[in-house]
Amino acid sequence: MSAAVIEATGLTKTFPMPAGPVTALRNVSFSVSPDEYVAVSGPSGCGKSTLLHLLGSVDTATSGTLLFDGRDISTLPDAERSRIRLTQIGFVFQRFYLLPMLTAWENVELPQGEAGVSKPERRARTAELLDYVGLSQRAQHRPSQLSGGEMQRVAIARALANSPRLLLADEPTGELDQSTGEQIAELLDRVHADGNAIVVVTHDPAIAARAKRQLKMRDGEIVAGAPA
Amino acid sequence: MNSFHFAWRSLFRQPVRAALAIAGVAAIGALLFDMLLLSQGMLISFRDLLDDGGFDIRILATPSTPISGPRMADAAATAAAVEALPEVDAVVPMRIGQARIVGPDSVNLSLIGAVTSRRDAWTVVEGVDLDDLIGNDDPPMVINRNIAEELTLAPGGTVTIRSECTERYSVLPTVDFVVSGIAEFPFDPVTQMTAAVAMPDFDRACGSVMDEADVFLVATRAGEYPEMAVAAIQRLRPDLHAYSNDQLVDRFQQVGFSYFRQISTVLATITLFFAFLLISVLLTVSVNQRFAEIAALRALGFSRRRIAGDLLWESILMVGTGGLLALPLGLVLAIWLDRILKAMPGIPSDLHFFVLYPAAVILHVALLAAAGALAAAYPVFLASKLPMASTLRNEVVG
């Protein structure tokens, strides 16, 4: 196995609540190698999304370390973590979060512009990605003119825009019907096959089954699938 | 897509809401602009009115305004002495009294008596001036347009007046005048009836030679500073009170116009506060509606600075567009309000309450920009400190 793209050791996340602190993640350790496709599943409230947010540097752990490419990102200033999210990590959300005032093309182009990619390169990459997800004909459509499945495909193209080393997907089929969900799952398979590391959080056993490695969580802990 | 472009698209994603927001800023901005015009308008207009008369110093017997105070005696000798000063070019002694045009259409008027050999305190717009009417038995008189229209008078017509310029005689004899011309008097209110005659004719109408003056209008010699001439006059006649136009404006600023300044300052402050509240509420509501979107952008790697920049640009666009629209809107409103205020009795028709001056535009832009920046501070803080994970989690759960 090649060096891990991300490596979590003893991650714990506790949320302060009026009734007392709630521990959403307890001492979780695992790593993801560059060619892995990992599915994290478990009942609601078991800490799946919390884990994904920590892996994506969207949130910080109460304790434990998180290495991205061997670098502890939990201690980095916000601007640097933003830069890593922008250029190294792709996010796919359950609710897509495409910007409604932008076209599919602009949504995919936006993170590239923020990363400082030149205009000709952005054009080429955006065209390539929309073609990749099968939406070249819908490039000038706004999210409101797209179906749920199409929106999620645009969201996946956006997540891949800056060629991230890790793709994180939080319930990517949660808002879709079964048939459309399968199409998204197939797209994620293809993304993985093309050499991207993926961590997907899902309730759907069918989606989880497509992953090479499945982690099962309960009460904030990984109860199955984590490597030693 | 840079912050400006992004902010533009964000603002106009809901065109009706954006239009209403900009209209709101434009309306408040117009009021603010008008308050700025009002704060200095009367002073600027008063200054113009003084300057346009061609005289830059007024000499009075007391610090009170002309007519209301005592008159100056030995007017002819005083005028000659002042005119002899090297800083002074011309002196016009002036009397102001009340009179009545006798006849079937009786009209009360302000009667001005002036020594007119050097300069006039009025502008003849039709006919000729007092000194230019030659070969007539009756003394000449210039009347303003209101009298001409009221009595259907034109140059060459005659009027009979009975003066009320002194308490010495209960009833003065009437005097006939021939109208030499129609003139504009700079301080005439809209409905004012004013006529002017030469000083000897004024004395004649008043029944005796009084050699008094209510005010001396003084023109400084070219190249001399009015303040130097004022100092020379004060040295010559310390018992009199000489004021340059600047000094008169300062004096009126402290006394007569301070109410307008105070009112306009208070209203401008309130208006600015409303602008701040409006922009702040609009941006805060907009940010609240976009919490998930902003959290997603942050999760995708957009920095806090970028998010703050987007919102600042959104505020600038809203305030900038509204502020620009506020200028013509404010000008139209100012013209309308000026007409209403000028209808008050006793206001010179050439005096304006709202006057456009460059500093008002600059101040308007600066104040609105400051209000926009301050108003954006809280929504920017909200957006840049937004906890990404909990916002995304709450959106999904909610």
Which of the residue ranges B40-49, B62-71, B298-307, B320-329 would you say has the lowest mean pLDDT? B62-71
Same domain, B293 and B346: yes
The C-alpha of B266 sits at a distance from chain A's nearest C-alpha, in angstroms, of: 41
Are B301 and A114 a contacting pair at CB < 8 A?
A: yes
Identify which of A19, A144, A12, A167 has the alpha carbon closest to the alpha carbon of residue A93.
A167
Asked, for residue A54, whether it belongs to a domain, the answer is yes
Of the residues B392, B393, B395, B397, the best mutation for testing chain A's interface (the one with the most A CB atoms within 10 Å of its CB) is B392
pTM (global) more than 0.90:
no
Same domain, B111 and B143: yes
Angle at B287 between CA B282 and CA B291, to 5 degrees: 155
Query: Which chain A residue has the Cα nearest residue B9?
Result: A101
Q: Cα(A93)–Cα(B324) distance, rounded to whole angstroms?
A: 41
Burial class (CB in 10 A: 0-12, 13-18, 19+), B231: middle
Coil vs helix vs strand at B187? coil
B398 — pLDDT class (breaks 50, 70, 90)? very low
Are A111 and B396 a contacting pair at CB < 8 A?
A: no
Q: Cα(B330)–Cα(B319) distance, rounded to whole angstroms?
A: 15
Same domain, B89 and B186: yes
Asked, for residue B73, whether it belongs to a domain, the answer is yes
Same domain, B45 and B68: no
Reported as a single tens digit per residue, the pLDDT across A104-146 is 999 999 999 999 999 999 999 999 999 999 999 999 999 999 9
- Interfacial A residues in 88-107 facing B (CB < 8 Å): 89, 91, 93-95, 97, 99-102, 106
Q: Cα(B16)–Cα(B14) distance, rounded to whole angstroms?
A: 6
Instruction: Write out B106-136 in H/E/C secondary structure.
Output: CEEEEEEEECCCCCCCCEEEEECCHHHCCCC
Asked, for residue B56, whether it belongs to a domain, the answer is no
> For residue B329, what are its two tokens?
């809107």
Asked, for residue A24, whether it belongs to a domain, the answer is yes
Are A101 and B303 a contacting pair at CB < 8 A?
A: no
pLDDT computed for residue B85 by the predictor: 92
Asked, for residue A14, whether it belongs to a domain, the answer is yes
Residues of B in contact with A102 (CB under 8 A): 1, 9
pLDDT computed for residue B137 by the predictor: 78
Residues of B in contact with A114 (CB under 8 A): 301-302, 306
Between strands A71-72 and A22-32, the pairing is: unpaired
Last residue of one domain, picked from the residues B239, B269, B292: B239
What average pLDDT does this structure show over A172-193?
88
Q: Nearest by CB to B302, which of A82, A109, A174? A: A82
Q: Cα(B102)–Cα(B83) distance, rounded to whole angstroms?
A: 37
> For residue B260, what are its two tokens?
């307008």
- What percent of chain A is predicted at pLDDT more than 90? 40
Query: Which chain B residue has the Cα nearest residue A15?
Result: B390
Between strands B158-163 and B88-102, the pairing is: antiparallel
**pLDDT over threshold 80, residue B260:** no
Query: Which chain A residue has the Cα nearest residue B293?
Result: A97
What average pLDDT does this structure show over B192-213?
85
Asked, for residue B345, whether it belongs to a domain, the answer is yes
Q: Cα(A115)–Cα(B300) distance, rounded to whole angstroms?
A: 11
Coil vs helix vs strand at A117? coil
Asked, for residue A127, whether it belongs to a domain, the answer is no
Cβ neighbours of A171 (radius 10 Å)? 21
pLDDT computed for residue B68 by the predictor: 65
Of the residues B12, B300, B303, B310, the best mutation for testing chain A's interface (the one with the most A CB atoms within 10 Å of its CB) is B300
Residues of A in contact with B301 (CB under 8 A): 82-87, 89, 111, 114-115, 162
**pLDDT over threshold 50, residue A179:** yes
The C-alpha of A51 sits at a distance from chain B's nearest C-alpha, in angstroms, of: 10
Same domain, B12 and B139: no
Same domain, B290 and B352: yes
Cβ neighbours of B201 (radius 10 Å)? 19
Touching check for A172 and chain B: CB below 8 Å? no
Same domain, B286 and B317: yes
Are B305 and A79 a contacting pair at CB < 8 A?
A: yes
Same domain, B146 and B35: no
Domain total for chain B?
Answer: 2
What average pLDDT does this structure show over A82-92?
92
Cβ neighbours of B200 (radius 10 Å)? 12
Q: Looking at the DSSP assignment, which residues form a beta bridge with residue B218?
A: B57, B91
Strand runs labelled E in chain B: 57-60, 88-102, 107-114, 123-127, 140-143, 158-163, 175-184, 194-198, 215-220, 241-244
Containing B104, the helix (H) or strand (E) segment is none
Same domain, B15 and B71: no
Are B304 and A82 a contacting pair at CB < 8 A?
A: yes
Of the residues A25, A82, A112, A123, the best mutation for testing chain B's interface (the one with the most B CB atoms within 10 Å of its CB) is A82
Same domain, B155 and B261: no
Altogether, the residues listed in chain B come to a count of 398
Angle at B78 between CA B77 and CA B83, to 5 degrees: 100
Q: Nearest by CB to B300, which of A50, A101, A111? A: A111
Reported as a single tens digit per residue, the pLDDT across B71-119 is 888 888 998 999 899 999 889 888 888 888 887 778 888 898 888 766 7
- Interfacial A residues in 107-126 facing B (CB < 8 Å): 109-111, 113-115
**Radius of gyration of chain A measured on its C-alpha atoms:** 17
Asked, for residue A146, whether it belongs to a domain, the answer is no
What average pLDDT does this structure show over B121-145?
84
Asked, for residue B171, whether it belongs to a domain, the answer is yes
pLDDT computed for residue B144 by the predictor: 92
Query: Which chain B residue has the Cα nearest residue A89?
Result: B300
Are A79 and B303 a contacting pair at CB < 8 A?
A: yes
The C-alpha of A184 sits at a distance from chain B's nearest C-alpha, in angstroms, of: 19
Are A82 and B396 a contacting pair at CB < 8 A?
A: no
Are A114 and B302 a contacting pair at CB < 8 A?
A: yes
**pLDDT over threshold 70, residue B259:** yes
Chain A, chain B: beta-carbon pairs less than 8 Å apart: 82
What average pLDDT does this structure show over B358-363?
91
Q: Nearest by CB to B389, which of A53, A99, A100? A: A53
The CATH number assigned to the domain holding A42 equals: 3.40.50.300
Asked, for residue A153, whether it belongs to a domain, the answer is no
Asked, for residue B245, whether it belongs to a domain, the answer is no
Coil vs helix vs strand at B184? strand
Residues of A in contact with B303 (CB under 8 A): 78-79, 82-83
Same domain, B129 and B231: yes
Q: Nearest by CB to B301, which of A86, A94, A171? A: A86
Are B10 and A101 a contacting pair at CB < 8 A?
A: yes
The answer for residues whose C-beta is within 8 angstroms of residue A194's C-beta and 6 or more apart is none
Greatest alpha-carbon pair distance for chain A in Å reads 54
Asked, for residue A27, whether it belongs to a domain, the answer is yes
Asked, for residue B20, whether it belongs to a domain, the answer is yes
Query: Which chain B residue has the Cα nearest residue A54?
Result: B389
pLDDT computed for residue B232 by the predictor: 92
The C-alpha of B1 sits at a distance from chain A's nearest C-alpha, in angstroms, of: 6
Are B9 and A78 a contacting pair at CB < 8 A?
A: no
Same domain, B44 and B71: no
Report the half-sphere exposure of B278 (CA within 13 A, side-chain side).
23
Are A171 and B300 a contacting pair at CB < 8 A?
A: no
Asked, for residue B246, whether it belongs to a domain, the answer is no
> What domain range is B171 assigned to?
62-239
Asked, for residue B309, whether it belongs to a domain, the answer is yes
**pLDDT over threshold 80, residue B257:** no
> What domain range is A36 assigned to?
6-97+166-224
Are B302 and A158 a contacting pair at CB < 8 A?
A: no
A168 — pLDDT class (breaks 50, 70, 90)? very high
Which DSSP string do the residues of B229-290 spell out, in sequence order?
Answer: HHHHHHHH-TTSEEEEHHHHHHHHHHTTSHHHHHHHHHHHHHHHHHHHHHHHHHHHHHHHHT
Asked, for residue A107, whether it belongs to a domain, the answer is no
Residues of B in contact with A91 (CB under 8 A): 296, 299-300
**Radius of gyration of chain B measured on its C-alpha atoms:** 31
Domain total for chain A?
Answer: 1
Reported as a single tens digit per residue, the pLDDT across B313-350 is 888 888 899 999 999 999 999 999 988 888 887 778 88
